[in-house]
Structure 1
Amino acid sequence: MESLVVPIFVLDARCRVVVWNRACERLTGVPANEVLGSSDAWRSFYKHPRPTLADLVVQGRTAELSALYDDHQRLCDDEGNLSAQSWCDMPRAGRRRYLAVDVSPIHSEDGTLVAVVETLRDMTAEKQAQIALEQLATRDGLTGLANRRCFDDTLHAEWQRALRQGQPLSLLMVDVDNFKQYNDAYGHVGGDACLQRIAGAVANEMRANDLVARYGGEEFAVILPNQALKGAAIVAERIRCRVEQLRLPNLGVGNQCVTVSIGAATVLAAPDTDPAGLIATADAALYRAKHMGRNRIGLTLDAAPAAAAGL
């Protein structure tokens, strides 16, 4: 075990470390003479007390796997042979690592547990690549907001939730006023910077369960679960004011600053309706806000649908 390039440590039946090979020293930054004979192997991996996978097997606590590890599985028919993955703090190494660990129990001839061997693999690079791919699939590259695909999936899920729970669902469509003129005056690099500033302003007004997405071009969409029209109007007004307070000059339209127009719609989901109707209603409210002079909010309660107003 000492000569293997795979990090390995072994616990005896009392959770004492009896093997801590050189590869494990390199991975954790903890020399063997500091950990051999101790019962706190966890200190090499975590800042706060938490059992290693080998500890769980020795102590018969494998029922806790789901609470402690991102992913876990049994390697064979023997329930003691387990595999799991999770982020580890690695206090001595000074860097967080994503480790895949396997454990195998060793029994005496009479079936008594003698020790548990734990092997470790550093999967940090693979995990970071996976996270990056997931972000590419759901995040807009320019603004860091949710992208159109994520918006569509979230709206469908929130629609189904609203339908089950009989709750209102609101949607804001936010469009940057006179953005073509801004691009003409500042170029695409300046336009991109403008969109990033506005994206940050919109995101700062969101609750934890709201979603703001870049819907396309200079248009953003905000999903407000369990939010009635009055609440949606308040959020919309906060967004409008926050963007106005950025004081981004738009030389393409004289001395005016960059503003946004917002269409707000609320629906009480019914079995014979779908999210497309909510999007269309919010778009219509946005068009009215633009038509009435920009830098304002258009509201629609799409229950029947009912009347709309421009504010």
Structure 2
Amino acid sequence: MELLVIPVFVLDQQRRVLIWNRACERLTGVAASEVIGTSDHWRCFYNRPRATLADLVLQGRTEEIRQLYDSARPRPQQREGLCAENWCDMPRVGRRCYLAADASPIYDKEGRIVAVVETMRDMTNEKKAQIALEQLATRDGLTGLANRRCFDDTLRAEWQRALRQQQPLSLLMVDVDNFKQYNDTHGHLGGDQCLQKVAAALASEMRANDLVARYGGEEFAVILPNQALKGAAIVAERVRSRIERLQLPNVGSAQPYVTVSIGAATALAAAGEEPQQLVATADAALYRAKRLGRNRISLPLQEPARGTAGRELDATAQ
């Protein structure tokens, strides 16, 4: 085990370190002499006390694995063994690592566990590459917001959640007014910077569980889970006002600064209904707001009946 290129450590029945091989020293930055005979091996991986995979196997706490690790599964063809992956703090080396670990018990003739061998593999580069690919698949490259694909997936998921929990679901469709004229005046680079500033202002007004997405071009969409009509109206007006306060000059426009029009819809999800109806209703409200002069919001007249988004009411900006 000392000569293996794979980081390995072994715990005895009392969770004391029996073996801490050279590859483990290189991975953790901790010499074997510091941990052999102790139960402080967790300090090599975490800033706070926390069980390693080997500890869980030794103590029979395998049911806790899904609470402590990003991904976990029984070890193939290994009785009571475990495989898991997670981020580790690695205090001694001063950087976080994503480690894949395998913990395999060793039994005596009576079937009692006498030791557990844990092997590790540093998958930090692979994990970072995976995260980058996921971001490319779900994030808009210009604004950093969720992209259309992520919006569609999230809306379907939130619709099902609203259906199960019998909670309202609101949607805002936000469009930058006279953006083509702004783009023609300031050029594509100026237009990109405008969209980035609008996106940042939008995101800053949202709760942690809301989703802001670039729907397409100069249009944005906001999913507001468990948000009824009154809350959606407050958020919409807050967004409209905040973007106006950015005071991005819009030369030649009816409005001196960049503004947005917002359409809103609220639905009580019902079996057999589709979330696309919520999008269509919010979109119709958006275009009605633009027809009536822009820089305003269009909201439902009343709380919607189950499975509908309600009638619209124009709310002109003060």
What TM-score bracket applies, with the shorter chain setting the length?
Answer: over 0.9
Alignment-mate amino acid for residue 145 of structure 1: L
Q: Structure 2 vs 1, CA of residues 264 and 255 (structure 1 numbering), >3 Å: closer, same or farther?
A: closer
Q: State the partner residue of 2:257.
A: 257
Tell me, what secondary structure is at the counterpart of 1:267? strand
Deviation readout 1:121-161 (Å, 9 max, x if unpaired): 00111111111122222211111111111111222222233
Matches within 5 A, 1:268-283: 268-283=268-283
Secondary structure of 1:308's match? strand
Q: What percent of counterpart residues are identical?
A: 70
Alignment-derived partner of residue 151 in structure 1: 151
- State the Cα distance separating 1:106 from its structure 2 match: 2.1
Q: Is the 8 A contact 1:282 1:300 kept in 2?
A: no
CA distance in 2, matches of 1:257, 1:283: 23
Contact 2:65 2:72 in 1 (8 A): yes
Distance 1:259 1:53, change over 3 A: same
- Corresponding residue SS for 1:251: coil
When the two chains are superposed, the root-mean-square deviation of aligned CA atoms in Å is: 1.9
Shift of 1:198: 0.6
Distance 1:227 1:25, change over 3 A: same
Structure 1 pair 255–71 and aligned structure 2 pair: CA distance change class (3 A): closer
In 1, the alpha carbon distance for the partners of 2:62 and 2:270 equals 45
Question: 1:79 maps to what in 2?
Answer: 79
Distance verdict in 2 for CA 1:237–1:254, change over 3 Å: closer
One-letter amino acid of the structure 2 residue matched with residue 197 of structure 1:
K
Question: Shift of residue 239 of structure 1?
Answer: 0.1
TM-score, normalization by structure 1? 0.94
In structure 2, the partner of 1:162 is: 162
Q: Aligned partners of 1:109 and 1:307: how far apart in 2? A: 76
1-side partners of 2:87 and 2:247: how far apart? 43
CA contact 1:12–1:116 (8 Å) conserved in 2: yes
Report the alpha carbon displacement of residue 255 of structure 1 after superposing the two structures with TM: 7.7
Change (3 A) 1:217 1:22: same
Aligned positions of 1:31-180 closer than 5 A: 31-180=31-180
Structure 1 residue 108: deviation in Å? 2.8
- Mapped to 2, the partners of 1:272 and 1:10 lie a distance apart of 56
**CA shift for structure 1 position 10:** 1.1
User: Contact 1:177–1:259 at 8 Å: present in 2 too?
Assistant: yes
When the two structures are aligned, how many residues end up with a matched partner?
A: 311
Higher mean C-alpha deviation, range 13-22 or range 298-307: 298-307
1:292-303 correspondence to structure 2 within 5 Å: 292-301=292-301, 303=305
Shift of 1:164: 3.5
1:82-134 deviations in whole A, cap 9, x for unaligned?
A: 21111100000100000011122222334333321111100111111111122
Q: For the Cα contact (< 8 Å) 2:285–2:312, is it kept in 1?
A: no
Partner of 1:210: 210
1:252 to 1:122, Cα distance in 2 relative to 1, 3 A: farther
| Contact kept? 2:83, 2:103, Cα under 8 Å | yes
1:306 is matched with 311
Judged with a 3 Å threshold, the aligned counterparts in structure 2 of structure 1 residues 26 and 191 are, in CA distance, closer, same or farther, namely: same
Distance in 2 separating the partners of 1:192 and 1:176: 12
Q: Is the 8 A contact 1:104 1:116 kept in 2?
A: yes
- 1: distance between equivalents of 2:296 and 2:153? 28
- Asked if the contact 1:162–1:226 (Cα under 8 Å) also holds between the matched residues in 2, the reply is yes
C-alpha distance in 1, partners of 2:2/2:193? 55
Contact 1:292 1:310 in 2 (8 A): no
Give the residue type in structure 1 aligned to 2:126: E
Tell whether the 8 Å contact from 1:168 to 1:268 is kept in structure 2 after alignment: yes
Deviation at 1:23, TM superposition (A): 0.9
Q: Is the 8 A contact 2:298 2:312 kept in 1?
A: no
Per mean C-alpha deviation after superposition, the further-off stretch among 161-170 and 220-229 is 161-170
Structure 1 range deviating more: 99-108 or 24-33: 99-108
Distance 1:104 1:228 in 2: 51
